[in-house]
């Protein structure tokens, strides 16, 4: 939480967010956390919405892009396109261990079941994000998670605690139509892989196009899991986000 002594509780913040406009939500974030907040982006399928909102309402907030070394080429080019168009304070963080070294020592972790995926998440996502939070001395972290994205996210609150960090989800209650309407209203560019049937975009080796009879969350990690590690409490044993 914020260091302000009389700061409202998580429950009180959730209540204030529930009936607030998006502008009021960002104003509340600034009021409560000031310079102690950072954001993150995957530059994925719908990330343009949160990036545009940050550009409009909080352009000075650092936005962390974790470069695992395994993003699609289209993702790298897309983020460059968005950065050129908007006022975005993007900071790129890389894992401490290079992709080449990881594969030499561990093989292809994404092919080693749930245990391999957990280790992959810790090395490539959790460790660099934890480093970003530490280096920025951030007590709060803005994420673009939405309840409608998966069953696991359905019970999330606008504000949650994840170890030492307050997680903030400004568009948690937005449905897919809200996202699409916002993109259309502001004429925002879409991720190029959407045209090829991708609906949830992460690393190239763990992302597949949507097929008939599948849910969007089944297109990540072969359906073994949905989260990459950043938003899982089980991933916090080694790195305290």
Q: Which residues are catalytic?
A: 228
The residues, any chain, with a CB within 8 Å of residue 118's CB and separated by 6 or more, are: 229, 234, 235
Q: How far apart are CA 208 and CA 215, in angstroms?
A: 12
Q: How many residues does the chain have?
A: 241
Q: How far apart are CA 8 and CA 201, in angstroms?
A: 35
């Amino acid at each position: 939480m914020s260091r302000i002594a009389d700061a409202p509780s998580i429950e009180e913040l959730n209540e204030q967010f529930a009936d607030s406009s998006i502008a009021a939500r960002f104003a509340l974030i600034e009021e409560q956390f000031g310079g102690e907040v950072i954001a993150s982006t995957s530059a994925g399928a719908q990330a343009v919405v949160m990036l545009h909102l940050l550009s409009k309402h909080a352009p000075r907030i650092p936005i962390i892009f974790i470069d695992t070394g395994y993003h699609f080429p289209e993702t790298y080019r897309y983020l460059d396109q968005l950065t050129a168009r908007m006022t975005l304070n993007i900071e790129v963080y890389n894992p401490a261990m290079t992709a080449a070294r990881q594969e030499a020592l561990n093989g292809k972790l994404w092919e080693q079941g749930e245990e391999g995926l957990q280790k992959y998440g810790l090395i490539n996502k959790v460790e660099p994000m934890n480093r970003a939070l530490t280096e920025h001395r951030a007590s709060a972290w803005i994420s673009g998670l939405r309840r409608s994205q998966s069953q696991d996210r359905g019970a999330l609150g606008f504000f949650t605690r994840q170890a030492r960090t307050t997680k903030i989800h400004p568009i948690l209650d937005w449905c897919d139509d809200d996202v699409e309407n916002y993109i259309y209203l502001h004429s925002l560019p879409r991720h190029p892989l959407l045209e090829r049937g991708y609906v949830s975009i992460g690393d190239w080796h763990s992302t597949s196009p949507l097929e008939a009879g599948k849910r969007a969350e089944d297109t990540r990690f072969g359906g073994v899991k949905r989260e990459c590690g950043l938003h899982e409490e089980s991933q916090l044993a080694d790195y305290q986000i």
